[in-house]
Chain A
Amino acid sequence: MARPPKERKKKRKVQSKSTAKVKPRNVDHVTGDNIPKSFIFSRGKLPSSLRGLQMDLRKLMLPHTALKLREKKRNNLKDFLNLAGPMGVTHFLILSKTDSSPYLRVARTPQGPTLSFKIHEYSLAVDVAHSQARPRCPPEVFKTSPLIVLSGFGTGEQHLKLVTIMFQNIFPSIDVNTVKLSSCQRIVLLNYDKETKLIDFRHYTIMLQPVGVSRRIRKFVQNHEVPDLRNLRDVGDFFAKAGYGSESEADDEAATVSLPNDLGRVNRASTRSAVKLQEIGPRMTLQLVKIEEGLCSGGIIFNEYRVEANGDTT
């Protein structure tokens, strides 16, 4: 498709496949709220690993983000703001790098507050996949937006409240009455540690496994693999063989749910299923540094390194 370069700047995945896919709506037809959309881009030149982090963050925010957003050197924040208006983009996630460390800014357009986080540590999705024995990342997992779990933010401090509100608004809300459990496939966890004041950011996929079913039967039904019956004298032995469950099944009583509907072939309604999470996606350790009133401008509401009148730093 030969499009002029200017148009390509605005090109989003949606526009390129408007005939094949259904366009994501601006308004959620269930809750009636606007679906929040985000742009993730960088300011300044980023090294390759941070560009990988940017890509991972974009995948994380799918489907309500521009996966293939192209940015040029000469684009300012103003350009992005101008685009954001007509497209209904509500949040910006901006990555930048200084000599000391990379920074992540989360801002609400058009004039909302900006949270600045310092990234102490990060790991890319490929690093996480390398560290696992069986990495699993099916692509259909990215078709629905993730759930968000915030923990440890309940200390009551004002800036933490703002952080929670901001993150809750980035992801579209779900209606408990109408949501289909099969569409909740990813979860983002943000855990605040009071002592170190660091926020852990993790991204998992949700998998449901029926409980009380022996491993062999489960695998047989799930994977459609024909089992090896060479050593058995009777088919009944296949079912009756006492296979000890994996050690993690024992302490999972709290992690079982009973589903209202059938999910896939294996999980049936009104039987207990275990919830299993597997990590994908980037891993970050963030520290809240600054909150500004405007979009990367305006008065500073909160500053981690507040300088007192007599010159002491806190």
Chain B
Amino acid sequence: MDELQLQDTSNHSKKRKLEHNKKKKNKAKLSETPKKQKTSKKMQKLYQKRVAEYNSDNDEDVQSEGSSGHVSEEEEIGKFSDTDEEGKKETGSQKPDTSVGVIKFSEGSKAFRMAFMKIMKKKVTEDFLGPILSGDKKLIAKKLTAEEDENAQKASRKEKLLKLNQVKEKGHVRPANFLDTKEKLLISLATKGVVKLFNAVNKAQLVQKGVRVSKSKDAKELGKKSKEAFLAELRKESLPTRFNPMTSSVNKATKTEEGKNNDPGWALLRDNYMLTSSKLKDWDKMPGGAATAVSAETLVDSSSDEE
């Protein structure tokens, strides 16, 4: 028997490690059904047998049973001579004090049973909170009141902010998308003002323009006058006799436009234009002087044309 036991233990040592892990998994997933694939038929039968044998009144004997169960299991296994690798052993370890997380299945089930019975024994209170598995009711009550307070605070803060914003934005008005009558009135007022101003500017500046033009004319005349004087000097030496009518006509041209009637300054308008070549009368006598006189005259005429 002992030999068998030893053999079996040696055989089962590896299996036990496997079973360790599986036991851990099983402990974690107490509620889940164990994987049926892994439990062999032999083991199932073993379990069924144990269930039938199970007697809650013999709590104290569970441990001893457990240890004896070991032996019995192994005996049974030995009987069937099964070397299942997936042999599911209930007990995780022979040493119960190896790790905290791993306890005997029987012990675990016992603890669960006790807890369950306690809960079932408890009266179901008709509180609105419902059955509470954890915590003190007082704690819950505290939490709720704290939440309510917070909400109340938040609401009051929001109100304050709203009021502040109202005060801040007081007077800030967003204009409408359309032009209402008042705005149209104001725009028309402003337009009238602008039009008045522009007309005034117009008047003033057009008048100015006219003045400026005449002013500029005078400037030109001034310039011309100086030019005439220079040319007159030139001509003086060459044509002393013909100088005077020329200069007089040119002078008349420099006067304002009113003086055009009597003796047009513009050579074209004179009656004796090109007909009487008074300038060229004595051209054969004084070729150089005549040429200069003619050139000066043409110069003068051309400048008066530009007027």
Residues of A within 8 A of B (CB): 47, 49, 99-102, 119-124, 127-128, 130-132, 147, 149, 151, 176-177, 179, 181, 184, 187, 189, 191, 200, 202, 204, 206, 254-261, 275, 277, 279, 283
Could you say which residues of chain A place their CB within 8 Å of the CB of B177? 131-132
Which B residues from 188 to 212 make CB contacts under 8 A with A? 189-195, 197-202, 204-206, 208-209
- A49: B residues at CB distance < 8 A: 168-169, 172
Counting CB contacts under 8 A, is B167 at the interface? yes
| Chain B residues near A200 (CB-CB < 8 A) | 186
Q: Are A277 and B190 within 8 A (Cβ)?
A: yes
Closest to A179 in B: B201
Q: Report yes or no: B206 in contact with A275, Cβ–Cβ below 8 A.
A: no
Can you list 7 A-B contacts with CB-CB less than 8 angstroms, sorted by A residue number?
A: A131-B174, A132-B177, A147-B194, A184-B198, A204-B190, A257-B198, A275-B198
A206 to B197, CA, bound (A): 12
B135 located at the interface, meaning its Cβ lies under 8 Å from any Cβ of chain A in the complex: no
Q: CB-CB < 8 A to A191: which residues of B? A: 186, 189
CA distance A181 to B171 in the complex (A): 36
Interchain CB contact under 8 A, B205 and A260: yes
The answer on a CB contact under 8 Å between A189 and B171 is no
Query: How many residues of B are counted as interface, with CB atoms below 8 angstroms from the partner's CB atoms?
Result: 32
Q: A187-B190, A189-B189 are in contact. List 4 more A-B contacts (CB 8 A).
A: A127-B173, A147-B197, A255-B191, A257-B198
- Chain B interface (Cβ < 8 Å from any Cβ of A): 167-177, 183, 186-187, 189-195, 197-202, 204-206, 208-209
Partner of A123 from the list B175, B189, B197 (CB cut-off 8 Å) is: B175
Give the docked Cα–Cα distance between A258 and B201 (Å).
10
Inter-subunit contact B200/A176 (CB<8 Å): yes
Q: Which residues of B contact A123 (CB under 8 A)?
A: 172-175
Q: How far is B201's CA from A37's CA once the two chains are assembled, in angstroms?
A: 25
Chain B residue at minimum C-beta to C-beta distance from A121: B173
**Roughly how many angstroms separate A100 CA and B171 CA in the complex, as a whole number?**
9
With contacts A147-B194, A149-B193, A151-B193 known, is A127 near B170, CB below 8 A?
A: no
Residues in A neighbouring B176, C-beta threshold 8 A: 131
A47 and B168 contact, Cβ closer than 8 Å, known pairs A177-B205, A181-B201, A191-B186 = yes
Give A279 to B145 CA distance when docked, in angstroms.
56
Q: Are B169 and A47 in contact (CB under 8 A)?
A: yes
Once the chains bind, are B199 and A260 in contact (CB under 8 Å)?
Answer: no
B residues in contact with A202, CB < 8 Å:
186, 190
In the assembled complex, the Cα of A275 lies from the Cα of B176 at a distance in Å of 24
Known: A47-B168, A257-B198. A275 touches B174 (CB 8 A): no
Q: Assess the A119–B193 pair: CB atoms within 8 A.
A: no
Partner of B202, one of A47, A100, A259, A275: A259
Q: When the two chains form their complex, are residues B169 and A275 in contact, meaning their CB atoms are under 8 A apart? A: no
CA distance A119 to B199 in the complex (A): 34
Best-surrounded residue of B167, B187, B193, B194 (most CB of chain A within 10 A)? B194
> Which residues of chain B have C-beta atoms less than 8 A from A132's C-beta?
177
- Nearest chain A CB to B133 CB, angstrom units: 53
B212 CB to closest chain A CB, in angstroms? Answer: 11
Is there an interface contact between A176 and B201, defined as CB atoms closer than 8 Å?
Answer: yes
Kindly list chain A residues whose C-beta atoms are within 8 Å of the C-beta of B202: 257-260
The complex places the Cα of A100 from the Cα of B170 at a distance, in Å, of: 8
**B174 near A101: Cβ-Cβ < 8 Å:** no
Whether B200 pairs with A255 at a CB distance below 8 angstroms is no
Q: What's the nearest-Cβ distance from chain A to residue B169, in Å?
A: 6
Q: CA–CA, A260 to B200, complex, Å?
A: 11
